[in-house]
């Protein structure tokens, strides 16, 4: 029995142009192999205070949803 080379592919999206290009490659691989796609939004919050306002957390979630929806 021949195994598919990829069964699941994880795409890490940060909203950058490079991430979009990489995601398109991942989508093409998935299309050719019949793999499942999972996307996760990655945000750099190292510059932020450990005590972030709830509105900032909501904004990151909104950005992430929009970035993943583009893919």
Q: What is the DSSP string of 3-61?
A: PPS-SEEEEEE-SSHHHHHHHHHHHHHHHHHT-EEEEEE----TTS-SS--HHHHHHHH
- According to the model, what pLDDT value does residue 43 have? 76
Please say if the pLDDT value at position 5 is more than 70. yes
- According to the model, what pLDDT value does residue 15 have? 83
Give the residue among 14, 46, 44, 9 at the shortest CA–CA distance from 30: 9
pTM of the model: 0.67
- According to the model, what pLDDT value does residue 65 have? 79
Residue 41, strand partner residues: 13
How many angstroms separate the CA atoms of 18 and 24, rounded?
10
User: Tens of pLDDT along 8-49?
Assistant: 999 998 888 999 899 999 999 999 999 999 988 887 666 665
């Amino acid at each position: 029995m021949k195994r598919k080379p990829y069964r699941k592919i994880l795409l890490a999206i940060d909203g950058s142009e490079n991430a979009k290009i990489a995601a398109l490659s991942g989508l093409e691989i998935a299309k050719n192999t019949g793999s499942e796609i999972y996307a996760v939004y990655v945000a750099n919050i190292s510059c932020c205070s450990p005590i972030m306002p709830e509105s900032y957390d909501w904004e990151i979630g909104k950005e992430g949803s929009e970035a993943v929806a583009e893919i």
